[in-house]
Amino acid sequence: MTQTNPLMNLKKRGLLQSGVLMTAGAVMGCATSSTANNAPATPFSVPNTYVPIAGSSEMFPVRRIYCIGRNYAAHAIEMGSDPTREPPFFFQKPTDAIQLVLPGKVVNHTYPSLTKNYHYEVELVAALHKGGRNIPMDKALELVYGYALGLDMTRRDLQRGMGDQKKPWEIGKSFDQSAPIGPIHKVAQTGHFGQANTQGNIWLKVNGQVKQQATLSHMIWSVAEQISKLSDAFELFPGDIIYSGTPENVGPVVKGDVIDCHIDGLPDLSIRIV
């Protein structure tokens, strides 16, 4: 097993704007400079992505977004898979898929182009401050800095269409604002989620009606197992975040719908489809 060093804390000042992609420029009120860290000169700057850390003025820098597919048995079955036979599999979203949703706010979320079947998936998100390869399961939780509540929004018709053609389905998963997320809460504040000895209700409502409801104990692969399996395939680094799968009863939303999400121990997350 190898591990990389923790991230140094990044202190940022200024007001957070709900529903706005958090970039270095947005946080600091100006564009970032590649020369500030002795980096090569570039013809233009590319903003970094940050998520606020609850109870702190610090921001969590996001390096990669990993997502695990079909990690609740009932959801695997509704998607046409056999959860007793399928090993965990992962896909990624770009960092600019993140849409920040602050607690107590209902943030406007744009209905995306090309789709006529836009689905919600509520998920626990684990944020890493250490990395490495081939992490044993009993050491995996040492990598976790904190947890957040998130949504894996999906253009289901595009995902299924590409799957039917045996083609990659990034177009169904990896688009703008497809990863709404709340602030990250440190493990010291919350403890670890989704372990065998913890329940933790997870639910999603659309216009006040419950659509998804389960407990985190229904996950097929725990957070520790997800990290361990991921590190066999990819070298993990500080700043990586992992969307941990969704319960059954995913379904469509249309413009005007309000989605409310909940995980015990984290503040609720709410978006309005516009």
Residue spans of the domains in the chain: they are: 2-33+45-273
Specify the pTM: 0.85
Q: Among 6-20, 25-39, 75-89, which is the least confidently predicted range?
A: 6-20
Q: What is the reported pLDDT for 63? A: 98
Average pLDDT score over residue span 143-154: 98
Please give the share of the chain, as a percent, with pLDDT higher than 70: 81
Q: Spell out the residues 6+ positions from residue 47 whose beta carbon is closer than 8 angstroms to its own.
A: 21, 23, 24, 25, 26, 31, 32
Q: CA nearest 242: which of 161, 200, 179, 199?
A: 179
Contact between residue 148 and residue 185 where contact means Cβ atoms under 8 Å apart: yes
Q: Once rounded to an integer, what is the mean pLDDT over residues 73-79?
A: 71
Residue 136 has a CB neighbour count (10 Å cut-off) of: 10
Q: Is the pLDDT of residue 90 over 60?
A: yes
Share of the chain above pLDDT 90, in %: 73
127 has a pLDDT exceeding 70: yes
Where does the pLDDT of residue 131 fall: very low under 50, low under 70, confident under 90, or very high at 90 and above?
very high
pLDDT value of residue 198:
63
pLDDT at 191: 94
Strands 58-61 and 50-52: antiparallel
What pLDDT digit, counting tens, does each position of 160-219 carry? 999 899 999 899 999 999 999 999 999 999 999 976 556 799 999 999 999 999 999 899
Q: Quick one: pLDDT band at residue 22, thresholds 50, 70, 90?
A: very low
How high is the pLDDT of residue 3?
63
Mean pLDDT of 86-110: 94
- Average pLDDT taken over every residue of the chain: 86
Q: Which amino acid is present at 230?
A: L
Instruction: Name the pLDDT band for 35 (thresholds 50, 70, 90).
Output: very low
* Calpha distance 102→99 (Å, rounded): 10
Q: Which CATH number fits domain 2-33+45-273: 3.40.50.1820, 3.30.70.20, 3.90.550.10, 3.90.850.10?
A: 3.90.850.10
